[in-house]
Each structure stands twice: as structure tokens, then as C-alpha cells.
Structure 1
Amino acid sequence: MAVRAAAPAELPPLPADVGLTWRPLTPDDVPAWFALCEVVDDHDDANERVAKSELIDRFKGSWHDPARDSVAGFDADGNVRAYAWSVYRQVTEGTQAPVLFGAVHPGHRRRGIGRALLAWSEARARQQLAAATVNLPARIRVYLDESHAEARRLAEAAGFTPIRWYVVMRRDLAVALPSGDVPDGLRLVPYSKERDEDIRVTHNESFARDHWGSSPIDAEAWSIDVVGGEKFRPDWSFVAVEEATGRVVGYLLSGAYDQDWGPQGFTEGWTDLVSVRREWRGRGVAGALLTAAMRAYAGGGMQYAGLDVDTDNPSGALGTYTRLGYERQQGSVLLTKEI
């Protein structure tokens, strides 16, 4: 991996002539960092808006090293005008895959800052991969809204290639919901913390191994990134349990991303993750889970149910969502450098 990553010994310099002072982000910078993200999301009409709690969570977890993995440009008044962060959690199976985040204030664009930050974060990602202790397939990832043509041109000019497309799907909860019949031999139960480890294992044995680009999630990352976030809604989350064995065979985890509701003009319950073990697929389990979630969203006063899906998902998820009344909305694209 160290050879394949071709990591530089030093990170490339950042622009010295743009009126910004460069240093790593710290927890104390979250308010100024969040202010930048709000401006950028509004200006770019982002598909999903960043919540302050998500930025706070970036400083949690043993795999995060903000002092080495992040950098931000501060103006003379202490405002964050640009940042980059290469997020990487080493895995022991699947794909080693840092993901690059970054933004430049609209008033500071077209000055070479975005290009320099992308080069910096890619170099840092290569250093992260070079330190991996398990030699696996690897890629450096950048996710972009399809509507962000300027950002895509920047990434493609740097050698990133579009490789996967995703689409947001939305279901009007005012329209009659499907029956959501539960298959024989199963029962649906509300999410509970007591089942959390069983759900994580099910995720790793179903979703992570069967879905392109996914890797298993360890207990620490699961507790922070999946069920520990401020937006996670356990009361909108459900588990499919095999009656004969008590085994978890499917699950659906939901969130309430209220930072999106104002800009998009409606409230929405969001399905973060849904998956069913391979031997139970094609028997209506996903439909039952999704219907239970839609009823919970509607009961919570939500106007729509939302989720996103890989358009090449081999499990037939796109067809399942369409049959349940979900309709395609905006899309996003994954660009990568394969290592």
C-alpha cells in the first residue's frame, strides 16, 4: 500500500498571497467553520445542509486526527474562508477509502484556493493510505452534488473520475401508505440500544459486504457516526427479527435533518440505512421496514419520507423504493482516484 499510495513526504504549500492564515481546525473553530458551511450551502443550493453537530462530531473518534488531516484559511477577523479535511478510517476488509471534504467561501473563489486545497487533501489522503497496516483495494473519494458543475470541473481537472451516481428519492406521506405486510416468520420491533451490536453485525454481514464501496464499521465508529449523532431518531428506526431464532435479519435507521427543512420547503423523515440479510431478500422485508418508518415519520408530523440510493445497487433497492411510491429527485456523483 505504501508504494501504491505514492505519498509525498511533505504536503504541498497553500496560497500565501490570498489574505488567509492557514492552520488546522480545532473544536474552538466550530462556530466559524459552521458559518462558512452555511454560506457555502446556501450559495450552492446544496442537496444536504451541514449541521453544527456534524462538525463537532468530526473531533470525536480515534481515527480522526484534525491536527494532521485538516486545514483552514482564516482572514484577519478570524473568519474561516476555506477549509479541507481528509477523513480516513482504516479497515481490515473491504476498501481503504479516504473521503475529501472542503469548501471555499463564494467571495474567495477563482483565486486558486480550491485547487490548492484539493491538492493538499489528496496528498494527505495518500499519506493516510501509506500508513495503512492492511493492504486492500484503495481509492480516494470526493462526493459532489450533480448540480455543482464548477466543483466537478475542479475535481476532474485534478484527475478524479466520476465512477458512481446516487439519487435522492422522496415519498409524499399524504398519499395512502402501502400495507407493509411483515413476512411470515418475522416480527418488526422498534430500535433499542440493547440490539445495537446485533444490528451492527447484521450491517457488516449484509450491507457492508454486498454494497459496492462499503466496508465493515467497527463498534467505535458505529457508536459515533451511525447511532450517536444528534440527528439520529431511534423512535423512527426498526429491526426485523427472526421469530424462531431471535436473529436480526434486517434493520432501518432514521434521522431528522431539520437543517434541510427550511431550505427545501418541507419536513422530512430520512432513512439513513436500510438493509436485509441476503437469504431474506425478495420476501418483502425491506418494504415492511420502510412502511413502518413512513408511518413513524407521518406520526411525527413529517410531510415526506426521503432516502438516497446508488443507482447501480444490485439488490434491486431502486425498484423497491419506486414500488413504494418514492420518486427520483436530485442526484450526486462520486469521483475517485483508484489507488
Structure 2
Amino acid sequence: MCGVPAPLTPPDGLSVRPLVLTDARAVVEVMAAQEAHDTGEVSIEEADILGDWGRPSYDVSAGTVGVFDGERLVAYAEIMGADRGDAAVHPDYRGRGIGTALAGWMQAMAREAGSHVIGMPVPQGSPGDRLLEALGYHVRWQSWVLRLPAGAEIAPRELPAGYTLREATPADHEACWTVVEDAFLEWSKRDRMPLDDWLATVVGRPGFEPWNLRVVTDAGGAVVGVTQVFVANGEEGYVNKVATRRDQRGRGIAQAMLVDAFAVARAHGATTSGLDTDSRTGALGLYERVGMVVHATWVNRAIDV
């Protein structure tokens, strides 16, 4: 167990070690197996892991741990911030105490980082949800996976006079980061993501194309709205980020950006469209107003450490 940042004792016959970037594919396979078992569908992609792990400020080996059966990764956990983490156990290896051990590892890592709480997302009612509840974790917030029903069309939304919606250019990137981080930090209690880290998760995400990052500019050319959209798993137009500058809200900009994002995703092969939101944002009503429906509910469970 040399090199594991916090104590973790695996069940007999298994071993543990910190992960490295080349373990990303194995992590995706474990997460995909868990998602398929617990929700009936797979949303994770290797690009998601590589984008997050590619942040300049992130030390993969210092923030992760893997549980192995021989050379096969069967479970993993990571700390993505002082109070945020994620974990997955392959369904074939459940019932052996691995999930409980990973929860203990995450708690120890959070304490070492000076945090007083650690939490992670799980599908509501899933085995992971029940395990964390049994371990004393409380629900911090709910989140919802929303989908646009197959064949549904969103009525066009007009931008205010003088405003333009287009692909972002490299010259827009810093302004995009500012708009997105300002909007998300209104309700998310975390440090501002450094610009280079943000770029790694957006334009540095494997497979990035210019149409994935879109902006609304005002009559003076300033960026006032941003969306990040891509085609996930070859079929779903997924809106990963949508943000409007605070002083520009209530003018239909976010709705116009959603209409555009879903349309451009369809033009690039998407057959469905979706996004995630949570109870901290207050945005559920916005998405329902444009015709989206709740497809699945997740909870973020946390525990004081």
C-alpha cells in the first residue's frame, strides 16, 4: 500500500495503489459497470475523466486510489476538492466492504486537507445511496438529469436587439471563464477554478471542437452568456455548462442559448438532448419551461469529518 495518501485496507486478495493518468480507461470501465447496474444506462466517458485529471493544479496520484484484483481495477475513489469526491465499485465486487473502506479513505483525505465535510453524488435509492445513508451521510442537495423528449422541438427564443450568439474564439476564453465561474460561485461554495484548470476541462477536453463552446455577446461585443455543449456517447447533446452574466438575466438569453445548444448538437449527430442541474441553482423551472423533463434524480450525500 506504499504511496496511498491515506490509510486504506482492502479485503483479502486485493491490493491498492494511487492511480495515474493511464488508469483513466480502467476507471471509466468500473464507473460504467456501476452506472449500468444501478441506473440502466451509461453516461460516463473517458473524455470526462481525462478533462478533469488534465487540470494543471490536479495531482492525480495524490488525489486518487484504486483497488485491484491482480492487474484489474475493481474500485476507485478520488478527492476533487476539499469537500467533494467520487467513487465506484464494480458490481461484481460489492458486498466485500470495499465501498465502506473507500468512504473511510475519502474522509481521511478530507481531514488531511483541512475540510470539515466530504460528500459525493449517488443515484437516489441506489446501493451507493443506501450505503452512505447507513454510514451516517446526510443529503446536502438533490440533482436532476433532464432530457428533451425524443422528437420534441423547443420554440425559438429571440435574443435582445443587438445581441449575437456564436462559437467562442480563443480571444473569448478568459471572458467565458469569468462569466461561468461568477455564475456558478453564486451558489457553489468552493474556490474559484483557476483559468488554466477551466480551460483543461473545456477546450482541453479530448475531442473538443470550436462549436462546443458558444457565447452570447451584447451590442458592445462583451460576452454575457456561455454554453458548453457536446455529443456524449455518440447520441446525446449534453449541455455541461450554461451561464448568463448576472446583470443580463431575465432577458431570455439562457433560453436562447439552450435552443441553440440542442440544435447544434442535433446538427452534429445527437438524437436526444440533456443536462444536469441541482437544487442549489434554482434553475429547474427554466429547463422545464423549455420542455425538458426529469429523467433521473441524484443526491449528494455528505458527512462531517
CA contact (8 A) 1:23 1:71 kept: yes
TM-score of the pair, normalised by structure 1: 0.80
Sort the Cα spacing of 1:112 and 1:291 in 2 relative to 1 into closer, same or farther, 3 A.
same
Q: Which residue does the alignment assign to 2:142?
A: 165
Displacement of 1:242:
1.2
Q: Which residue does the alignment assign to 2:99?
A: 114
Q: Which residue does the alignment assign to 1:269?
A: 237
Q: Aligned equivalents of 1:18 and 1:234: distance in 2?
A: 49
TM-score of the pair, normalised by structure 2: 0.88
Q: Which amino acid aligns with 2:122?
A: L
Sort the Cα spacing of 1:145 and 1:286 in 2 relative to 1 into closer, same or farther, 3 A.
same
Displacement of 1:219:
0.9
Which structure 1 segments of 5+ residues have no match? 1-9, 89-96, 131-137, 262-266
Q: Which residue does the alignment assign to 2:7?
A: 12
Displacement of 1:212:
3.8
Displacement of 1:47:
5.8
Displacement of 1:67:
2.9
Q: Which residue does the alignment assign to 2:169?
A: 192
Q: Aligned equivalents of 1:338 and 1:46: distance in 2?
A: 31
CA-atom RMSD, angstroms?
A: 2.4
Displacement of 1:46:
6.1
Q: Which amino acid aligns with 1:191?
A: A
Deviations, residues 35-62 of structure 1 (Å, cap 9, x unaligned): 3333323222366532223334454334
Sort the Cα spacing of 1:67 and 1:115 in 2 relative to 1 into closer, same or farther, 3 A.
same
Q: Aligned equivalents of 1:236 and 1:34: distance in 2?
A: 22
Displacement of 1:127:
0.9
Q: Which residue does the alignment assign to 1:144?
A: 122
Displacement of 1:309:
1.6
CA contact (8 A) 1:233 1:254 kept: no
CA contact (8 A) 2:26 2:73 kept: yes
CA contact (8 A) 1:100 1:122 kept: no
Q: Aligned equivalents of 1:38 and 1:109: distance in 2?
A: 15
Q: Which residue does the alignment assign to 1:289?
A: 257
Q: Aligned equivalents of 1:298 and 1:72: distance in 2?
A: 37
CA contact (8 A) 1:47 1:330 kept: no
Aligned pair partner of 1:218 in 174, 190, 194: 194
Matched residue of 1:129: which SS? coil
Q: Aligned equivalents of 1:128 and 1:37: distance in 2?
A: 25
Q: Which residue does the alignment assign to 1:153?
A: 130
CA contact (8 A) 2:144 2:295 kept: yes
Displacement of 1:312:
4.7
Sort the Cα spacing of 1:68 and 1:238 in 2 relative to 1 into closer, same or farther, 3 A.
closer
Q: Which residue does the alignment assign to 1:306?
A: 274
User: How many residues are treated as equivalent by the alignment?
Assistant: 301
Q: Aligned equivalents of 2:12 and 2:159: distance in 1?
A: 60
Q: Aligned equivalents of 1:330 and 1:98: distance in 2?
A: 24
Sort the Cα spacing of 1:288 and 1:53 in 2 relative to 1 into closer, same or farther, 3 A.
closer
Matched, 1:251 2:209: no
Displacement of 1:298:
2.5
Matched, 1:75 2:57: no
Q: Aligned equivalents of 1:34 and 1:298: distance in 2?
A: 25
Displacement of 1:182:
0.8
Displacement of 1:63:
2.9
Superposed, 1:15-54 pairs within 5 Å as 15=10, 17-45=11-39, 48-54=42-48
Sort the Cα spacing of 1:70 and 1:12 in 2 relative to 1 into closer, same or farther, 3 A.
same
Q: Aligned equivalents of 1:307 and 1:146: distance in 2?
A: 17
CA contact (8 A) 1:172 1:304 kept: yes
Matched residue of 1:64: which SS? coil
Q: Aligned equivalents of 1:178 and 1:35: distance in 2?
A: 38
Deviations, residues 180-238 of structure 1 (Å, cap 9, x unaligned): 11112422222222211111111222x12323445422112111123321254531442
